[in-house]
């Protein structure tokens, strides 16, 4: 009897474990381009906020730009669940979408999460299923089973691409797994209240980040965050809700002085470029926010951002870095594009 029940529960466990995997149609097997870090990057595309229930037509436009790499900046799906079966099914919808498969066929993919794919709207370290949702996200991104990120807490990672003298480091921050709670006002126009003692990254990730920046021999250092770092006037999620962490990140950049640091973020269902000056840094610090692959704001309202350069883009969009390695120093151009590959914003950063 004991043997039968062990067999039965083992079988049940197997079914449950398998059921929570992301399913990929066998016809797509081996059609994704492999990640090759020796490849020098000239075109990097990025974006966020991809509701799996909405049209995935943006991928056709991303692919037109022939990116050497795609960076997910979070909200890959709108999971908003504690049920890992539901989450896995939503990832499966994107992973089997014919237009997303076009991207996978032409471009390797890396990424981070934001709240909705982490698991719950605006969630932080308190979200109870964060270890399970981490596994699903790493599986979605095809991160190898033996990658070190799978054996520690959080989903932060880094990649260095390119030959010597033409290196780009991509630092992918986890701004959810360790993030302290936030409080919001109630009613219409809810506003986040600053958590003056709260932290975004957690000490282990701060120590890792410092090392990643100190050890970097890359000519360009891209730092990705699920939500905005520089912009601080709006009432939504931002590093500005954790003033100590925002200041700490800037102080770290001032201390280490990485070559050509560029911040990238998502979350906001719009796109904008922000620029600030940090004393001691040779160049201004830029942050490009690209969000809204499948949806954007219903009305074109204004939003204050003292750091904004150029227009606020309230259109479905993705971002593109174009890097020219022909000179002594790389030249970096950023673009925001949308449906029909329409250009909304272009700025030379360095
Ligand atoms: Fe978000």
Q: 292-347 pLDDT, tens per residue?
A: 999 999 999 999 999 999 999 999 999 999 999 999 999 999 999 999 999 999 99
Q: Cα of 150 to ligand 1 centre, how many Å?
A: 23
Checking if the pLDDT of 4 tops 90, the result is: no
Q: Cα of 283 to ligand 1 centre, how many Å?
A: 29
Q: Cα of 7 to ligand 1 centre, how many Å?
A: 42
Q: Cα of 6 to ligand 1 centre, how many Å?
A: 42
**pLDDT-based confidence at 19, cuts 50/70/90?**
low
Domain count across the chain? 1
| Domain span at 318 | 2-348
190-197: average pLDDT = 92
pLDDT computed for residue 8 by the predictor = 52
Q: Cα of 11 to ligand 1 centre, how many Å?
A: 37
Q: Cα of 217 to ligand 1 centre, how many Å?
A: 31
Q: Cα of 136 to ligand 1 centre, how many Å?
A: 18
Can you give the three-state secondary structure of the chain, one letter per residue? CHHHHHHHHHHHHHHHHHHCCCCCCHHHCCCCCCCCCCCCCCEEEEECCCCCCCCCCHHHHHHHCCCCEEEEECCCCCCCCCCHHHHHHHHHHHHCCHHHHHHHHHCCEEEECCHHHHCCCCCCCCCCCHHHHHHHHHHHCCCCCCCHHHHCCCCCEEEEECCCCCCEEEEECCCCCCCCCCEECCCCCCCEECCCCCCCCCHHHHHHHHHHHHCCCCCEEEEEECCCCCCCCCCCCCHHHCHHHHHHHHHHHHHHCCCCEEEEECCCCCEEEEEECCCCCCCCEEEEEECCCCCCCCCCCCCCCCCEEEEEECCCCEEEEEEECCCCCCEEEEEEECHHHCEEEEEECC
Q: Cα of 269 to ligand 1 centre, how many Å?
A: 9
Which pTM was predicted? 0.94
Residues 6+ apart with CB under 8 A from 145: none
Nearest partner of 178 among 82, 87, 113, judged by Cα = 113
62-81: average pLDDT = 98
Q: Cα of 126 to ligand 1 centre, how many Å?
A: 16
Q: Cα of 324 to ligand 1 centre, how many Å?
A: 32
With contact defined as beta carbons under 8 Å apart, do 212 and 224 qualify? Answer: no
Q: Cα of 297 to ligand 1 centre, how many Å?
A: 14
Q: Cα of 80 to ligand 1 centre, how many Å?
A: 11
Tell me the CATH number at 209: 3.60.21.70
pLDDT computed for residue 14 by the predictor = 47
Q: Cα of 45 to ligand 1 centre, how many Å?
A: 19
Q: Cα of 74 to ligand 1 centre, how many Å?
A: 7
Report d(CA 274, CA 232) in Å as an integer. 11
Reading the block at residue 327, the tokens are 């000179």
68-80: average pLDDT = 98
Q: Cα of 175 to ligand 1 centre, how many Å?
A: 11
The dihedral built from the CA positions of residue 260, 266, 268 and 272, taken in this order, carries a sign that is positive
Checking if the pLDDT of 16 tops 90, the result is: no
Distances (CA, A) of 102 to 56, 71, 166, 201, 335: 11, 15, 27, 34, 21
Q: Order across the sheet with 43-47: list the strands.
A: 109-112, 69-73, 43-47, 318-324, 331-337, 343-348
Q: Cα of 268 to ligand 1 centre, how many Å?
A: 7
pLDDT computed for residue 3 by the predictor = 57
Neighbours of ion ligand 1 (CB under 5 A): 75, 114-115, 267
Q: Cα of 184 to ligand 1 centre, how many Å?
A: 15
Residue 312: CB atoms within 10 A of its CB come to 20
Checking if the pLDDT of 17 tops 80, the result is: no
Q: Cα of 326 to ligand 1 centre, how many Å?
A: 37
Distances (CA, A) of 304 to 231, 264, 289, 311: 9, 19, 15, 11
């Amino acid at each position: 009897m004991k043997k039968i029940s062990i067999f039965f529960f083992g079988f049940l466990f197997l079914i449950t474990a398998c059921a929570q995997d992301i399913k990929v149609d066998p016809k797509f097997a081996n059609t994704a381009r492999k990640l090759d870090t020796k490849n020098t990057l000239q075109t990097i595309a990025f974006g966020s906020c991809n509701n799996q229930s909405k049209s995935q037509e943006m991928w056709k436009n991303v692919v037109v730009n022939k990116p050497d790499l795609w960076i997910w900046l979070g909200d890959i799906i709108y999971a908003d669940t504690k049920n890992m079966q539901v989450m896995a099914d939503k990832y499966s919808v994107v992973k089997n979408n014919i237009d997303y498969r076009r991207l996978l066929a032409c471009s390797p993919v890396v990424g981070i999460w934001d709240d909705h794919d982490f698991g719950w709207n605006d969630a932080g370290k308190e979200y109870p299923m964060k270890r399970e949702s981490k596994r699903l996200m790493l599986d979605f991104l095809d991160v190898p089973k033996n990658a070190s990120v799978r054996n520690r807490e959080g989903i932060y990672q880094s990649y260095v691409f390119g030959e010597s003298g033409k290196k780009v480091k991509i630092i992918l921050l986890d701004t959810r797994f360790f993030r302290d709670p936030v409080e919001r006002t109630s009613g219409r126009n809810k506003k986040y209240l600053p958590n003056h003692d709260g932290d975004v990254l957690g000490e282990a990730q701060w120590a890792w980040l410092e090392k990643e920046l100190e050890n970097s021999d890359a000519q360009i250092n891209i730092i990705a965050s699920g939500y905005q770092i520089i912009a601080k006037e709006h009432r939504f999620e931002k590093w500005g809700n954790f003033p100590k962490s925002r200041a700490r990140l800037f102080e770290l950049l001032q201390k280490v002085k990485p070559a050509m640091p560029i911040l990238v973020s998502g979350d906001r269902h719009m796109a904008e470029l922000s620029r600030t000056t940090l004393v001691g840094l040779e160049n201004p610090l830029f942050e490009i926010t690209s969000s809204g692959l499948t949806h954007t704001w219903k009305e074109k309202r204004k939003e204050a951002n003292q750091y904004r350069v150029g227009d606020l883009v309230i259109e479905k969009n993705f971002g593109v870095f174009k890097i020219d390695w022909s000179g002594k120093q790389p030249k970096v151009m950023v673009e925001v594009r949308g449906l029909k590959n329409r250009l909304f914003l272009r700025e030379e950063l360095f």
